[in-house]
Amino acid sequence: MVQRPISPAMRRFVDDELLRAPLLFDQLLDGTLDHARKSLPTMAPLQRATTGELMQAMLAQRGRLGDYFMRSLQEQVDAELQNKQPLGAAPAVSAPRRLSLALVDEEVVAMDVELSHIIEAIKSTGEYELRELQTYISALVGDMDVSVDHNPFRAETYARATWAAAQALPLSRGHQLLFMRSAGSALAQLLRTAYAASTSRLEAMGIEPAAHRTVILPSGSRRGSRSNEVTFSPDLHSMRDTMPAPIDAPLSYEGQSRTPGAHPAAAVPAASFHSAAAGGTASAAPRREHWTDIARTTTNRVDRQSIELVSRLFEAMLNDERVPEDVRMVISRLHGPAMRLALRDAGMLDQDKHPLWRFINRLVFECEMAPDPGDPERRQLLKSALGTAEQLTAEPEQNNALYRWALDRFESLLHKRLTRRLAAAASQIGALQKLEDKLLSGRADAPSSFHGMLDVQALDTVPADLMEHSTPIARAEAPTDAWLDSLRPGDWVRMFLQGRWVQARLMWPGERGEVFLFGDGASDATWAVRRGALLAMHAARLAKTLKQRSIVGSAAARVQEQMSSAAA
């Protein structure tokens, strides 16, 4: 992965923030101790004893906790500046490909729940300060569009550093969890002040925030607005019937003369498809057929309206900033044949059923699940999709069967990819099946490190079964079991694991439903997750199934909005 250059101004800012971090942690410890001290009178005897032990350890291990905090903060910031994965994240794709396995049980999830609470508390408490600081740091690195959050001192960074400090406590997991709960509020308030102070220092350096400038961007480079994103998909048949496509409008083969109401298709992206995917040098995309080129073959008004609608749909998809540029190249190749198909296949306007739209939606979704453009699996996927699109383009007669074949071919490729990954994890799966059998037979049971020191109320949203490994989960009564039992191999799930959000694919569910193996969408990392841990994450809204969104439906909504605005 190419290292991002760091400007001297950015380096000075980072060094200054790191110099101030030890003082911030001292204040955090003082705030945590004060919170714990004030809470003692309201606690039950067992909680009071646990809190007293925690306070004594914090005072005795103050220097050690600070060292762990600073080491974690330094490592995370260095990784961010070097454009690497943060500490604790999955290995980068460019690293030597190897399989790693992390076992996630209920105790890990309990800490993840608390970590997510702290991150949310920081973001909600210092929402304005974080946004303001982001504009200054974007100006510091030259990102005038504020397209990415360049702040290396995010809420997640400080939360993970606080968790690292908690692990320095020579106490049980229950004590460490209590430390995190006590530190959350104090950390949120301290960071709100720290973010505001950082903004003031950057302003004093003469940095002008990017959001306060009027930036004139080159034509076509301004980022699209998200204001027209909606959650419904308009009916394409109704849209076609109201689509302006005057039959008497003058036509030009090259599209130089158009009706005033017609919208030109978006330009093919300037950057071509990844040369590595094609195995050769990059080349510019060929000229895409204009809708008037196709319309010359018919005098039927409805056919002209269908062609215009399809053209506008592709324009909207290619202008959708959520669609990666390498995926836009594949979609742009389908524009011409799709307009020809509109003349022969009335079922093309069934956006949820027609194989053309299903192919596009599936392609975008799978590329979102493997977000790294350098991932060999993603490049192979796009190379195959591009080859399929070129075959469709070359067909002189467009029909529904062609696109059913294209969709089946793509689904077959996805199935083979999952099969290869399962084969690579065969030894892991065998070991996990043996472990599952032992767990359910009572022969293997890891002791809990909570030691009964925290009651259910102390865990807030964490279910009671997180506290006791030896007690079987009452699965028949668990409201989230229906979600878990609905998962099938190949389904994608968004989960909060080890302090970060991941997109993971269910690779293998245990035969007895106790252990589930997930694979990271961005790397070769895998996680073996116990059933109770998944139930806890889902109950705490830290795990959900990812549904394939409709790029075509979003494009149709934007086109409908444009038509309504033009008619007003």
As a whole number of angstroms, the distance between CA 552 and CA 313 comes to: 7
Q: Find the helix or strand (DSSP H, E) in which 515 lies.
A: strand 515-520
Using CA atoms, how far residue 327 sits from 10, 103, 283, in Å, is: 33, 34, 15
Torsion, Cα of 333, 336, 341, 343 (10° steps)? 170
As a whole number of angstroms, the distance between CA 358 and CA 403 comes to: 9
pTM exceeds 0.75, yes or no: no
As a whole number of angstroms, the distance between CA 180 and CA 459 comes to: 11
pLDDT at residue 497, as a whole number: 83
AA identity, residue 564: S
Three-state SS at 495 = strand
pLDDT at residue 269, as a whole number: 39
Token pair listed for 199: 């903004």
pLDDT at residue 339, as a whole number: 86
As a whole number of angstroms, the distance between CA 90 and CA 298 comes to: 55
As a whole number of angstroms, the distance between CA 223 and CA 159 comes to: 32
Token pair listed for 431: 């070991």
As a whole number of angstroms, the distance between CA 199 and CA 53 comes to: 39
Q: Where do the domains of the chain lie? A: 8-95+108-212, 236-420, 424-545
Three-state SS at 349 = helix
Q: Are 453 and 50 in contact (CB under 8 A)?
A: yes
AA identity, residue 61: Q
pLDDT at residue 480, as a whole number: 64
Place of tokens 């074949």: 405
As a whole number of angstroms, the distance between CA 427 and CA 101 comes to: 11
Q: Are 526 and 101 in contact (CB under 8 A)?
A: yes
Alpha helices per DSSP H over 296-399: 301-318, 325-333, 335-342, 355-369, 376-394
pLDDT at residue 291, as a whole number: 55
pLDDT at residue 211, as a whole number: 62
As a whole number of angstroms, the distance between CA 264 and CA 399 comes to: 25
On whether the 424-545 domain is CATH 3.40.109.10, my answer is: no
Token pair listed for 347: 């079922």
pLDDT at residue 17, as a whole number: 94
Question: Which residue from 146, 136, 14 is spatially nearest to 80, judged by alpha carbons?
Answer: 14
β pairing state of 515-520 and 500-509: antiparallel
Token pair listed for 298: 């018919």
CA end-to-end span of the chain, whole Å? Answer: 50
Torsion, Cα of 41, 464, 169, 54 (10° steps)? 10
Per-residue pLDDT of the chain (568 residues; tens, 9 = 90+): 444 567 888 899 999 999 999 999 999 999 999 999 998 999 888 889 999 999 999 999 999 999 999 999 999 999 888 864 443 444 333 333 344 455 677 777 888 888 888 999 999 999 999 999 988 888 888 877 776 788 999 999 999 999 999 999 998 888 888 999 899 999 999 999 999 999 999 988 888 887 654 444 444 444 444 444 444 578 888 888 887 754 444 333 333 333 333 333 333 333 444 443 444 434 444 445 565 566 556 667 888 888 888 889 999 999 988 898 889 999 999 998 988 888 888 888 887 789 999 999 999 999 988 877 878 888 899 999 999 999 999 998 888 899 999 999 999 999 998 999 899 889 889 988 888 888 888 765 554 444 433 333 333 333 333 333 333 333 334 446 888 889 999 999 999 887 788 899 999 999 888 899 999 888 888 888 888 888 888 888 889 999 888 899 999 899 888 888 877 6
What are the backbone dihedrals phi and psi of residue 493, each rounded to the nearest 5 degrees, phi first?
-130, 140
pLDDT at residue 290, as a whole number: 60
Q: Are 533 and 105 in contact (CB under 8 A)?
A: yes
As a whole number of angstroms, the distance between CA 222 and CA 237 comes to: 32
pLDDT at residue 230, as a whole number: 43
Q: Is the dihedral of CA 555, 556, 557, 563 positive or negative?
A: positive
- The side-by-side arrangement of strands in the sheet containing 515-520 is 100-104, 525-530, 515-520, 500-509, 492-497, 543-545
442 φ/ψ sector (left φ>0, alpha ψ -120 to 50, else beta): left
* DSSP 3-state percent helix, strand, coil across the chain (nearest 5): 55, 5, 35
As a whole number of angstroms, the distance between CA 223 and CA 404 comes to: 34
β pairing state of 100-104 and 525-530: parallel
As a whole number of angstroms, the distance between CA 68 and CA 120 comes to: 22
